[in-house]
Structure 1
Amino acid sequence: MQEIRIFRNHLLKETDWAGLNDVTMSNEMKTYRQALRDIPASNTVYKDVEWPDKPKE
């Protein structure tokens, strides 16, 4: 599960710019980031994780 959280956190950091005060976050990006945050709660085996597709920026 630690491996899942590490990779999930990496993906979240890649999209942190979308949460800045001067940027309006799209609904697609909000959904993507929420799906990433939900992954550790729903998966314990890395190979079984279905990673969400990152929306276009």
Structure 2
Amino acid sequence: MPFTVATVDQTAEMLGVSTRSVRRWIDDGSLPAFRIHGHLLRIKVADIEALLEPVTS
């Protein structure tokens, strides 16, 4: 089943953060990502949206 993906730049814009923050989250495993063509990073939109879910206490 296909899924929608975003670039690092698009992800940063969606979350209102810098691309450096997005890359740091990818590097530390907080944000799953995958490479296409060996070097291009892509992030599933569903994984980005998961970061936006409200925290319940």
Place the TM-score, normalised by the shorter chain, in its bin.
under 0.3
Q: Normalising by the residue count of structure 1, what TM-score does the alignment of the two structures yield? A: 0.27
Higher percent of residues as helix: 1
Higher percent of residues as strand: 2
